[in-house]
Amino acid sequence: MLKCDVFGKCGGCTYLDIDYDLQLKNKTEEILKVIKDSMIEIKNYEGVLSSPLKYYYRNKMEYSFGNEIKDGPLTIGLRGRGKFYDVYSAKTCKIAPTDFGKIIEFSEKFFKDISFRNYRKHTGYLRHLVMRKGFKTNEILLNISTSSEDYHSYVEKWANEVLNLELEGKIVSIYHTITDAKSTVVKPDELRKLYGKDFFEEEILGIKFKVGPFSFLQTNTLGSEVLYSKVLDYIDENAKTGFDLYCGAGTITLLMAKKLEKVIGIEIVKEAVEAAKENAKNNKTDNVEFYLGDAKDVVKQLDEKLDTIVVDPPRAGLHKNVIDFILENKFENVVYVSCNPSNFARDMIYLKEIYEIEKFVFVDMFPHTKHLESVAKLRKKK
């Protein structure tokens, strides 16, 4: 097992000191108990599929500017476990690519005299540094978030100099997000591209994707190939058409399109829908359509009759409108991808009105943390 300098303080990992097989055993037992306590029956439990990479597996990290101790030196890293203000350096993080650590080390030195955000007083310039990397392409996208104070020349100088670092990957895009929001969310009032392309590229199961600074992509690229392979496996062989709700940049949609005659993807983020359409075009996939909007609203407007639906909702789970849509349409095949077992169990309480869990599997997308993804194949009750 690899050691980390700030394990136990940083909020990034919780199980780094536990044998990996034991991690999986503990996580699956805990989640299965949540489902069992909700009186949900699983007909065929297929166990847990491990992550291909156990360390350095994340393709995206969102770091905060701050310090570990009051009035201490600038630190770029992750907030402490159960803490809102303390930030612990992620230079030697064991779940992020080593390139990210090198960029942090350089950036901490470069910005050491520049103020960082104080979320009590809502003052300070530096807010976040988001890094994303294509594991198949080795392309890196950086997005630095600051307030609107006029220190932007420092960010521009940093963008020029960070390109000179010796990295395993290659920085292909640098963005500057400007916001004075009181929350810690990286959401722009203004977005400036400082260098390179509008996106970085990644490849999943033979399909190439362009990923922008705010596009959704599963944070474990190699793990997502395991996850999506299982999603495709859970779609019936005789299925012809399908919905992909919460489709992001169209990852699952385009993979479904290899198996089905027609697929419709729905996504609330405009940038992601634009990326999904471009990804479809670049992969010469013409049997897909994408709708922009909140899934709970869009499904109320659709009159398409398709036989399959795949849902991969955020942690909040399915909105009641989406559950009603599934129940009203009585899809032959429902595949539910979940990152939150409690809300999955909650949704199944409603869906079990006409559906049962025919197959169920876990996929470990987040080694050394308490989280697991699950994939459930739902079948209409006889």
- Residue by residue, what is the 3-state secondary structure of 61-84? EEEEEEECCCCCCCEEEEEECCCC
Beta bridge partners, 378, equal 334, 357
Helix, strand, coil shares of the chain as percentages rounded to 5? Answer: 25, 30, 45
Core vs surface per residue 210-223: b (16+ CB within 10 A) or e? bbbbbbbbbbbbbb
Tell me how far apart the alpha carbons of residues 27 and 327 are, in angstroms, rounded to a whole number: 30
Q: Is 141 exposed, middle or buried (0-12, 13-18, 19+ CB in 10 A)?
A: buried
Main-chain dihedrals φ then ψ at residue 44, nearest 5 degrees: -130, 100
Contact criterion met (CB below 8 Å) for 116 and 147: no
What φ, ψ does residue 307 adopt, rounded to 5°? -95, -15
Rounded Cα distance, 308 and 331, in Å: 6
- DSSP designation for 60: E
SS3 143: strand
Place of tokens 């993807």: 265
The DSSP code for 125 is S
Cα four-point dihedral sign 40, 43, 46, 47: positive
Number of neighbours of residue 168 by Cβ within 10 angstroms? 11
Q: Which of 378, 368, 312 is nearest to 95 (CA)?
A: 368
3-state secondary structure of 8: coil
Q: Of residues 10, 93, 247, 339, which has the active-site annotation?
A: 339
4 is catalytic: no
**Residue 6 tokens, joined:** 């700030």
Just list the catalytic residues: 339
